[in-house]
Amino acid sequence: MVGLIGAIGAGKSTAARCFAGRGGQVIDADALGHDALRQPEIVAALMKRWGERIVREDGSLDRREIGRIVFADRNERSALETTVFPYITRRAQTEISAAQANPDVGFVVLDAAVLLEAGWGDLVDALAYVDAPREMRLGRLAARSGWDETELTARESAQWSAEAKKARADTVLVNDGSREDLQAQVDRFVAQFCNVDGVRL
């Protein structure tokens, strides 16, 4: 199993698509986290803590508002993680088992920004870190999500340092060029670490 981490906005999801195009089954931890926020018992617990301010007009939880709360205060982030991590971990385990049991799946990719912080490092056989210059990441995040530098910095402060993560990675994929350039780097990683024709990682 391959782990995918990286600098925020560097292109993890984009790299995940590159892996998927080469036979990898991607498990997207951010998406599982979003599913967690749709579970009635989790919604109730978070509303009890933060009130109506985190609820949008359509009744769903406002992730942007929750992000403002938890990335400004370590205690609040901890409260959110305690509430959602059991669900995310359960779902990830189920999806990993299903993918590993599927003979059509060449290898499994766990795309999880906080993979190391969550203690999932031992689950993976090879770890790729996606990187890009900060200015480039800021531009991409502004275009994709409307985030500014304050939001990026707040999230960065909630994670291990780039140096600590890179030190644990087998490879750094530098996503400062075209998507084709990133695909070529992913292809080299797959050739080196994912024996897709033989033993499955």
Ligand X SMILES: CC(C)(COP(=O)(O)OP(=O)(O)OC[C@H]1O[C@@H](n2cnc3c(N)ncnc32)[C@H](O)[C@@H]1O)[C@@H](O)C(=O)NCCC(=O)NCCS
Residue 106 binds which entry of ligand ATP, ligand X, none, CB below 5-8 Å type-dependent: none
Helix, strand, or coil (residue 6)? strand
The 3-state DSSP class for residue 111 equals strand
Name the residue nearer to ligand X (CB basis): 64 or 188: 64
147: nearest Cα among 132, 157, 158, 137? 137
12 annotated as belonging to a binding site for a ligand: yes
Question: Considering CB distances under 5 to 8 angstroms, the limit depending on partner class, which of ligand X, ligand ATP, none binds residue 144?
Answer: ligand ATP
Site for ligand ATP in 109-138 (CB under 6 A): 113
CA torsion angle 73 79 85 87 (round to 10): -130
* Binding status of residue 4 toward ligand ATP by CB under 6 A: no
Residue linked to tokens 């499955």: 200
3 touches ligand ATP by CB under 6 A: no
Pick from 65, 87, 154, 81: nearest CA to 117: 81
| Ligand-binding site membership of 60 (annotated) | no
Contact residues for ligand X (CB under 6 A)? 8, 29-30, 33, 37, 63-64, 66-67, 70, 77, 80-81, 84, 88, 112-114, 118, 155, 158-159
